[in-house]
Structure 1
């Protein structure tokens, strides 16, 4: 079976992998001239289904609990399994209790254990929540590694103008996100920063709870930290706003004052596609299967959605758990 995958974001790359491992001859078409620059490029890369359950449906936990295993198998050495640490300032202790009541898969840690887990946060927080089974990755490195593996498997990539050549395929997998023609989709703007400071080291993502503006920091290589992210109901892909910049930097400073001296390496904006219920869908119409609506859970849910799409292509049955 010859399959064309439209879109080389996280949905398209994971779909291509699942299809190819089942024996399909896959071509990936991307209108951009190279890998990156899409919403996936500006993701946090947290594989945190238990934490996400705080504001998401149970299906996000169910679909995402095996994501770290999938990425480990598809892109060896890209996943860090160190869990997630959730903290709050003493004045916001109620936020920790609320977060704990809405999630599972965690245990309480006190000030001493926080210092053992993250020495640079010693003395800053009295208690927190550790989600030991969660993981994270660097989205850009993971996408590059998956692209390299797909190419080694013989998958053809067409970038730029070549992406419009789409004849001679048995099936089409549409993973174009906000570019898809679907009136049900809305854009959710996410803004992020990448900071660099040699004065802080973190071993795992840290979420700082705040009643108005919760924040997460994800460690990357060479003392870089991804700081995010806003959730603004907007399809505008313009630059980071001054308000968001101040809120992100202020929250990072609240986690540790050394971030006040950090270099701002990069700012970025990604517009994430979402359906009204914020849950993804795998849908079929004729010979076309669409994967869309990953919202803020791209790297977490893309493997499960890719499996559903591949099963649908080969079985012609409704994919288990897919929303129609």
Structure 2
């Protein structure tokens, strides 16, 4: 089976890996491979299905529970299985209780437990929720690493759509994300910051409950932290707004005052593709299959969606023999 995968974001690379691992011959088409403008580049990389249940449907949990194992098998050493810690200032204690009432897979953590999990946060929060079975990864390292692995495995990376159109592929998988031309979809703007400070260390993503949107701080290499992310109903890809900058920085400062002296290394905006129900879809039209609508769950749901597509494509091959 000779398959063309359109798009080199998290969905496209996941599909390419799943198909290649099952013996298909794959070409990935992307006019801007490795583009730093893709929504995947600005993702948090949290593999947190139980936390996501606070605002998502149960199907997100069911599709996402195997994501950490899939990514670790694809790129050994890329996943950190340290869980997720959810906290709230004293004034928002009820928000923390509401978060817990909508989720599962956690244990309540008191001040001593928080001190054990994250020593630098000792004494700052009275209680929290610890989701031990969750994990995270660095999206940028994973995107670069997976593309390199695929190239070594013989996957071709094409940048010219015209050349790809004449190659005679058996099947096409569309993984190009948000498009204004698709009237069934909307863009959801997510803004993020990367901060650098050596005055605080974290071992896992920490979520700070917020009345309007979830804010999280994810540790990365070289004393850097990703702080995100807003959820604005807009497909504008302009710079981070002043309001969002203030909210994200205030959240980081609320987590620990050391972030007040941190360097702002980077700001970024990604447009997440979403359907009205905020759930992903795999749609087949003839010999073309599309994956879209991963919303804010790209790295969490891409493995499950890639496996669905591979089943569809390769089962078709078997059926037509």
Match of 1:3 in 2: 3
Superposition pairs of residues 1-324 of structure 1, within 5 angstroms:
1-159=1-159, 161=160, 165-167=164-166, 168-179=168-179, 181-316=181-316
Check conservation: 2:180, 2:186, Cα contact below 8 A: no
Distance between the aligned counterparts of 1:305 and 1:198, measured in 2?
38
Judging changes above 3 Å, is the alpha-carbon distance between structure 1 residues 128 and 50 closer, same or farther for their aligned structure 2 residues? same
Distance between the aligned counterparts of 1:164 and 1:118, measured in 2?
52
Distance between the aligned counterparts of 1:259 and 1:164, measured in 2?
49
Return the TM-score normalized by structure 2. Answer: 0.96
Judging changes above 3 Å, is the alpha-carbon distance between structure 1 residues 33 and 302 closer, same or farther for their aligned structure 2 residues? closer
Check conservation: 1:29, 1:164, Cα contact below 8 A: no
Distance between the aligned counterparts of 1:312 and 1:51, measured in 2?
30
Residue 96 of structure 1: how far off its partner (Å): 1.1
Which moves more between the two structures, 175-184 or 74-83?
175-184
Secondary structure in 2 aligned to 1:272?
strand
Which digits, 9 at most, give the CA deviation of each residue in 1:212-268, with x for residues without a partner? 343100000011000000000001111100110000001111111110110000000
Distance between the aligned counterparts of 1:174 and 1:16, measured in 2?
11
Secondary structure in 2 aligned to 1:194?
strand
The unaligned stretches of length 5 or more in structure 2 are none
Which digits, 9 at most, give the CA deviation of each residue in 1:113-136, with x for residues without a partner? 101110110000000000000000
Check conservation: 1:29, 1:163, Cα contact below 8 A: no
Secondary structure in 1 aligned to 2:165?
coil
Distance between the aligned counterparts of 2:70 and 2:183, measured in 1?
31
Distance between the aligned counterparts of 1:133 and 1:300, measured in 2?
14
Secondary structure in 2 aligned to 1:173?
strand
Distance between the aligned counterparts of 1:91 and 1:179, measured in 2?
40
Return the TM-score normalized by structure 1. Answer: 0.95
Match of 1:321 in 2: none
Distance between the aligned counterparts of 1:144 and 1:80, measured in 2?
17
Check conservation: 2:190, 2:230, Cα contact below 8 A: yes
The unaligned stretches of length 5 or more in structure 1 are 318-324
Judging changes above 3 Å, is the alpha-carbon distance between structure 1 residues 227 and 289 closer, same or farther for their aligned structure 2 residues? same
Q: Aligned pair count?
A: 316
Check conservation: 1:4, 1:171, Cα contact below 8 A: yes
Secondary structure in 2 aligned to 1:311?
helix
Residue 148 of structure 1: how far off its partner (Å): 1.2
